[in-house]
Amino acid sequence: MELHLTGLSKTYPNGVRALDDVSLTIPTGMFGLLGPNGAGKSTLMRTLATLQDADHGSAQLSGVPGAAGGNINVLRDKSAVRRVLGYLPQDFGVYPKVSAEDMLDHLARLKGITNKGERADVVASLLRQTNLYDVRKKALGGYSGGMRQRFGIAQALLGAPAADHRRRTHRGPRPRGAHALSQPAGRDRRGGDRRAVDPHRV
């Protein structure tokens, strides 16, 4: 897969020009978006995550398995983007009384994993990868900052790589700890999924 951005621009109503004619091609694999505070990184990420609109420009995802012609117009075909996207925002809230396991199960259902057993496998795999399995029944409101961030990563991985989680589940649990956590973000998998990281917190 490749993401092609052409002439993306965004000016907020208060006159701040956050994106000024951004053109960029992001290939498969890890991609770091670096820039000083206020450079427009989160604005770009929110735009690509279909959470806000650009004023001008285009964003096209190519080589997407299952998409018509392999392409998705990111700014127009928002539901197609959301089906293949995993997104961890800079800041996010949680439902404090819900456990990580129940929340991931709910999000997996929203992602279209309708089979209960399959969903349980995917959720267990994500909890293990992010080293949250032992605290899966604990309410999210009682999580520490680091645990919350790891929960954020788990929900982001529910995006496009869901098929990979299912395959992996059949080969047994993955190793725990930091190594397990670094792998899904760093590895360029067969399916060629892409992760752009806004490194504000990295």
Ligand X SMILES: Nc1ncnc2c1ncn2[C@@H]1O[C@H](COP(=O)(O)OP(=O)(O)OP(=O)(O)O)[C@@H](O)[C@H]1O
Write the CB contacts of 15 (distance below 8 Å, at least 6 apart in sequence).
Answer: none
Q: Which residue has the tokens 């293990």?
A: 128
| Nearest distance from C-beta of residue 74 to Mg ion, angstroms | 19
- Interface stretch with ligand X, choices 41-49, 76-84, 100-108, 110-118 (CB under 6 A): 41-49
- Interface stretch with ligand X, choices 37-45, 141-149, 168-176, 186-194 (CB under 6 A): 37-45
Question: Using an 8 Å Cβ cutoff, are 18 and 40 in contact?
Answer: yes
CB-count exposure of residue 30 (10 Å: 0-12, 13-18, 19+): middle
The interface mask with Mg ion, positions 75-94, x = CB under 5 A, is ---------------x----
Pick one of ligand X, Mg ion, none as the site partner of residue 96 (Cβ within 5 to 8 A by kind).
Answer: none
| Nearest distance from C-beta of residue 44 to ligand X, angstroms | 7
Pairwise CA distance, residues 114 & 45, whole Å:
28
User: For residues 47 and 155, which CB has a smaller minimum distance to ligand X in the complex?
Assistant: 47
| Nearest distance from C-beta of residue 53 to ligand X, angstroms | 12
Which of 40, 42, 49, 125 forms a contact with Mg ion (CB under 5 A)? 42
Q: Phi-psi category of 80—alpha, beta or left, where left has phi over 0 and alpha has psi -120 to 50?
A: alpha
**Positions 11 through 30 that interact with ligand X (CB under 6 A):** 12, 14, 16, 18
* Residue 41 within binding range of ligand X, rule CB under 6 A: yes
Write the CB contacts of 158 (distance below 8 Å, at least 6 apart in sequence).
Answer: 86, 104, 107, 108, 111, 122, 126
Pairwise CA distance, residues 142 & 97, whole Å:
8
Which of 23, 90, 115, 183 forms a contact with ligand X (CB under 6 A)? 90
Please give the size of the binding site for Mg ion, defined by CB under 5 A. 4
Please give the size of the binding site for ligand X, defined by CB under 6 A. 14
**Which residues on adjacent β-strands are paired with residue 170?**
none
Q: List residues near ligand X by CB under 6 A.
A: 12, 14, 16, 18, 35, 37-43, 90, 200
